[in-house]
Structures are given as structure tokens and as C-alpha cells.
Chain A
Amino acid sequence: MALLEVRAVRKVFGGIVALRDVDMTVSEGEIHGLIGPNGAGKTTLFNVLSGNYLPASGQILFAGRDLAASRAHERVKYGIARTFQNIRLFKSMSVADNIKTGFHGMTRTGWLTAIFMPVRAFKEERLVTAEAAKLLERLNLTWAADEPAVNLSYGDQRRVEIARALAARPRLLLLDEPAAGLNETEVGVLEHLIRGIRGAGITIVLVEHDMRLLMSVADRVTVLAHGQRIAQGIPEEIRLNTRVINEYLGGVPA
């Protein structure tokens, strides 16, 4: 069953067409790779999916729901969470607090209630703190809970970003170049983490330039170039697709 259906999505910046009627179908439970040369529109597509940009035309269906009218924070509530190509943690906040922001969409107390009935807010806060601690433990980041996020290594910061996205209990996780800047060991840890997340039943769309990682974890791959989808299929097909080789893989089959 398709969890996410992108239908003829177009995004224009000034006169430049960043996404040219892109289609993409992501099935429930799969790891879906999204590749293409720089400027192909991968991050733009993520921004459209997460509600950061509004598309000029086209449709996005998520679990049967049309997302056209929903705002960014609502999409998180419906089950779409993401990470960023350039890490965007709340740097001077502790790692635990960073993760707690991911839970914010789940909390039910409105701010008026929080001001006038602080006891309820404190109670909910305790619950969120406990959930964040569990998540940190699962990612072996408990030791870093009280550290300001900025003090962590690059690889650990990436994992905190993933943990923050997981805090929203997503059905679909959008990972934007999670391996960028990581060393080989860290990539290994990341690969294990990605498989673990999928094992927990979360569907993943993965943008990644590390072809070894992507081809090994992805069930299916969509290829974008110049804002257009030029191929979609299982990794083996993509690797042999001449158009993809010419546009992106550069004639060296990975």
C-alpha cells in the first residue's frame, strides 16, 4: 500500500523550475532512496513534503490524506518527520531538550492551560522528559543528555537530529543526507540505525550521496535530475539504467 504519493508536484523559484511535475510513490514499510546530482531538487522535494514550501501545483497524498492545506507542524502530527542536510539542532540547548522539542506536537496542553493550570503542564513535562530519556537510551546517547548539542561530534549531532525526528513518532521519516561528513565507522552506526528504524515499522525516504550505503539499504530508488524524475526502481535496475549512469553515477557503476 502506498503511504506517500507525490503526484505531478511542481515548484518554481522565480523563473527556475526546481521540480517539474515530479511523481513518486513510497510504500508503507520500505526504505526509499532519492538520488540525483546536486541541484536536482531532492531537498526541494523534502521541503515541499514537510510543508516548508508550498508547491505551485500537484498533489501530495499521505496515508490517503491530501496535504495541500496542512501546515508544517500539522504534517509532523500526521506522521511526517525530517532531518536536515545542514544540521539544525538548537545548539545551545541540551541534547535532552532538543529531543523534547520533537515531542511538542504530541503534547495536548495548550499554552493558556499551561499558564493558568501549571500543574498539568509540569505533569506533561515530566512525561515528555521520561520519553526523551527512553529515546536517548535506545540510541546510546544517554551520556550526552545534559550536554549542549553543539559540544557533540558531528556524527552524534546527526543521531540527535534523527532522535528528535523520531520523538514525533513518525510513520514516515525523511532523512536528508544523514551520512554527509561522517567517517566510515559512523556510517556503519548510521546504517545499523536506519535498518533499526525501518525494523520498528517506520517508512523512510533517504536522500544520500553515499551510494554504497544507499544501494545497500534502499528497497527502491527514485532518481531526480534537473527537477525531473528520470527513473524509479529497485537498486539493481537503477545501477544499470543508462540515463542514470549518464546523469548521475558518471559511467562508473557503483
Chain B
Amino acid sequence: MLIIQTLIYGLAQGSLYALLAAGFALICGILKMITFAHGEVFMVGAFVALGVIVGLGLPPAVGMAAAMAAAMALGVFIERVAFRPFRGGSSMSPALITIGFSIALQALVLLLAGADTKPFPYGGGEFKLTVGSVSVSGIELTVILASFILVALLQLFIRKTSWGLALRAASMHFDAARLMGVNTNMTVALAFGLASMLAGAGGLLFGAYYGAFYPQMGVVMAFKALAAATLGGITSVSGAVAGGIMLGVIESLSVLFISSGYKDIIAFSILILVLLFKPSGLLGRFEEEKV
């Protein structure tokens, strides 16, 4: 039963990766560029939620909505400042500006909230779903279910709305979409908005899961999620989500069978192997550009 318990841990951790990885896929899909401030959007979302829940005493659901709204605003702002002015130009400038955002946002939260790690007021330890020797805590269940629902809603939006179609079209053929009447600036902003909403929600879920909110909480998460997105296939949202879940599960299995000290080494060795043999990721595919 230990293995099932381990898989559940992996699934919870993997869902957190998936929320960030889906965002990387959305942004990279349309711009073919990467943001280095995604972990800080995640972190800012977490702190806004904490402020709403602890500071204002409002319920966690309101905190979640606030995290998503704040993260979306921040993500759209970052796109406006770091990406839009350089459209069609070098991808170096946006990369550097987002690194700047990453450092500055960590410093800002450090100044405003202090360096100490803040706990989450709801323990989540009261509720436990136990089947045989396997038990799932309330917070694990919340993380897994909330991530699942958010990713499902994202997919619904992408598949079933006209803006979702614009997003798919612009990701496939940016210029053709523009010349067919798609407002591509708005579409890029939408990609950042959606990606950041997921990141903000992920930040709160992470903080609640580990009972820890701190200014650097997004750094390692974002890098691992980027790796996970690449593992699954960064050109597709579903590939990136699958990559996130896989990375979480691989990590937890290596903790079980080898040792927790090796989990990052194993996870990233697998990533390197996948990239060597299938550069587009496990589920991704590269489209040919010219007819």
C-alpha cells in the first residue's frame, strides 16, 4: 500500500507542477519565448491569498479568487512591459526583463511581508480519507481536485470559446491569425492572463499544502515546472500538464525506492534523456512551418 500512498503524494506535487507547466505551455506556445517571472507570479498570488485569508479573515475560496485575479493582473502587466515592446525582435530582452521582474518581486515581497516563512492558518489535518492503510488528507485532496478542475476549465476555454480558438490559431501561425482579423496583442495578453491565473491558484495551493509561504517559494517550483513542461511537450497544454504529473510521480517514487537526496538527480536525468531522444517532449510535436 506504500506505493499507492507514494503515488498520491506524487500526484499532489505533480498537480502543482502541472498548474505552472500549463502556463509555460500557453506562453511558449504563442510567443515561442519563456518568462522567468512565472514563479514570482505564483508567489505573489500566494501572498495575496494569504493577506485576504489571514489579514482580512475571509474564507479560503475568496483567497483563491483574489490570488487568481491578482496574478492575472500581474501577468498581463509583465507581458505588456517585458514582451509586447519587443514583438518580432530578439527574445533576449524579454528574458532579461523577466529575470529582473523575478528578482524585484521577491525583494518587494520580502520588504512588505518579511523574510520569515508564514504558516497557513488552516491545518487541513482534521480531515482524512482512509482506505485500508492508505490515507489522503483534506489538503492533498484539495490540491489534486482544484488543479484538476482548473486544468479542465482551461481546456474547455481553449476548445470551446472563440478566444480559445484565437489562442490556438495564433499559436499555430501568428501572422496568419493576425491577418485573419485576430487581435494578436489581446490574444498574447490572454495567454499570460490564463497562465498567471493558474500560477496564482497554484501558489495558494502550494502554500497551503506545505504550510509555508516565503518570498522564494516560486523559484525552484518554476524551474521544475518548466522542466516538466519540456518533458511532456511544451508546445501543448495537455502535454505540459502530463509532464507535470509525471515529474511529481517520478520524484515521489525515487524518494520511495532510492532516497530523497537523489530525487532531483533522477528527475532531471530522465528529462535530459527524453530531450535527447524526443526533443519535442513525450507528447509534443513540432509542426512544419512551410508548405
Whether A159 is near chain B, meaning CB under 8 Å from some CB there, is no
Q: A50-B179, A104-B180, A118-B161 are in contact. Are A90 and B172 (CB under 8 A)?
A: yes
| B172 in complex: contacting residue of A92, A111, A165, CB < 8 Å | A92
**Could you tell me if B180 and A165 are in contact, using CB atoms closer than 8 angstroms?**
yes
Q: A118-B157, A128-B162 are in contact. Are A88 and B287 (CB under 8 A)?
A: no
Whether B32 is near chain A, meaning CB under 8 Å from some CB there, is no
What residues on B are CB-neighbors of A219 within 8 Å? Answer: none
**Could you tell me if B172 and A103 are in contact, using CB atoms closer than 8 angstroms?**
no
Which residues of chain B from 156 to 171 have any CB-CB distance to chain A below 8 Å in the complex? 157, 160-163, 165-166, 168-169
Q: What does DSSP make chain A's interface, helix, strand, loop or mixed?
A: helix
**Could you tell me if A101 and B287 are in contact, using CB atoms closer than 8 angstroms?**
no
What residues on A are CB-neighbors of B157 within 8 Å? Answer: 114-115, 118
**Could you tell me if B181 and A92 are in contact, using CB atoms closer than 8 angstroms?**
no
For the A-B complex, the count of residue pairs with Cβ-Cβ distances under 8 Å equals 104
Kindly provide the distance from the CB of B141 to the nearest chain A CB, expressed in whole angstroms.
26
Kindly provide the distance from the CB of B235 to the nearest chain A CB, expressed in whole angstroms.
11
- Which of A7-15, A78-86, A241-249 has 4 or more CB atoms under 8 Å from chain B? A78-86
Interface residue count for B (Cβ, 8 Å)?
A: 31
Which residue of chain B lies nearest to A47 when distances are taken between CB atoms in the complex?
B179
Whether B183 is near chain A, meaning CB under 8 Å from some CB there, is yes
Q: A121-B161, A121-B162, A121-B163 are in contact. Are A101 and B179 (CB under 8 A)?
A: no
- Which of B6-14, B125-133, B186-194 has 4 or more CB atoms under 8 Å from chain A? B186-194
Whether B182 is near chain A, meaning CB under 8 Å from some CB there, is yes
**Could you tell me if B160 and A104 are in contact, using CB atoms closer than 8 angstroms?**
no
Whether B220 is near chain A, meaning CB under 8 Å from some CB there, is no
Kindly provide the distance from the CB of A96 to the nearest chain B CB, expressed in whole angstroms.
10
Which residues of chain B from 177 to 206 have any CB-CB distance to chain A below 8 Å in the complex? 177-184, 186-187, 189-190, 193-194, 197
**Could you tell me if A93 and B190 are in contact, using CB atoms closer than 8 angstroms?**
no
| B165 in complex: contacting residue of A76, A88, A100, A106, CB < 8 Å | A100
Residue among B160, B169, B184 with most chain A CB within 10 A: B169
**Could you tell me if A91 and B163 are in contact, using CB atoms closer than 8 angstroms?**
no
**Could you tell me if B163 and A114 are in contact, using CB atoms closer than 8 angstroms?**
yes
**Could you tell me if B181 and A168 are in contact, using CB atoms closer than 8 angstroms?**
yes
Tell me, in angstroms, the Cα distance from A87 to B162 when the chains sit together.
Answer: 23
Q: A50-B179, A82-B179, A114-B161 are in contact. Are A73 and B184 (CB under 8 A)?
A: yes
**Could you tell me if B290 and A86 are in contact, using CB atoms closer than 8 angstroms?**
yes
**Could you tell me if A109 and B172 are in contact, using CB atoms closer than 8 angstroms?**
no
**Could you tell me if B193 and A111 are in contact, using CB atoms closer than 8 angstroms?**
yes
| A122 in complex: contacting residue of B160, B172, B183, CB < 8 Å | B160
Tell me, in angstroms, the Cα distance from A106 to B162 when the chains sit together.
Answer: 10
Whether A107 is near chain B, meaning CB under 8 Å from some CB there, is yes
Which residue of chain A lies nearest to B169 when distances are taken between CB atoms in the complex?
A101
What residues on A are CB-neighbors of B163 within 8 Å? Answer: 109, 111, 114, 121
Kindly provide the distance from the CB of B183 to the nearest chain A CB, expressed in whole angstroms.
5
What residues on A are CB-neighbors of B183 within 8 Å? Answer: 73, 104-105
What residues on A are CB-neighbors of B177 within 8 Å? Answer: 90, 101
Whether B270 is near chain A, meaning CB under 8 Å from some CB there, is no
**Could you tell me if A91 and B172 are in contact, using CB atoms closer than 8 angstroms?**
yes
What residues on B are CB-neighbors of A93 within 8 Å? Answer: 168-169, 172
**Could you tell me if B161 and A125 are in contact, using CB atoms closer than 8 angstroms?**
yes
What residues on A are CB-neighbors of B180 within 8 Å? Answer: 76, 81, 101-102, 104-105, 164-165, 168
**Could you tell me if A76 and B179 are in contact, using CB atoms closer than 8 angstroms?**
yes
What residues on B are CB-neighbors of A165 within 8 Å? Answer: 180
Tell me, in angstroms, the Cα distance from A32 to B61 when the chains sit together.
Answer: 60
Q: A72-B179, A73-B181 are in contact. Are A111 and B186 (CB under 8 A)?
A: yes
What residues on A are CB-neighbors of B179 within 8 Å? Answer: 50-52, 72-73, 76, 82
Whether B291 is near chain A, meaning CB under 8 Å from some CB there, is yes
Kindly provide the distance from the CB of B231 to the nearest chain A CB, expressed in whole angstroms.
22
Tell me, in angstroms, the Cα distance from A161 to B162 when the chains sit together.
Answer: 18
**Could you tell me if A125 and B162 are in contact, using CB atoms closer than 8 angstroms?**
yes
What residues on A are CB-neighbors of B184 within 8 Å? Answer: 73
Kindly provide the distance from the CB of B22 to the nearest chain A CB, expressed in whole angstroms.
15
12 inter-chain pairs at a CB distance below 8 angstroms, sorted by A residue, are A51-B179, A73-B178, A76-B179, A76-B181, A81-B180, A88-B173, A90-B177, A104-B182, A105-B180, A105-B182, A115-B157, A122-B160
* Extra pairs beyond A50-B179, A111-B163 (15, CB < 8 Å): A52-B178, A72-B179, A81-B180, A90-B169, A101-B166, A101-B181, A105-B181, A105-B182, A105-B183, A106-B181, A109-B162, A111-B186, A122-B160, A125-B160, A125-B162
Q: Give chain A's interface residues, CB within 8 Å of chain B.
A: 50-52, 72-73, 76-77, 81-82, 84, 86-93, 97, 100-107, 109-112, 114-115, 118, 121-122, 124-125, 128, 164-165, 168
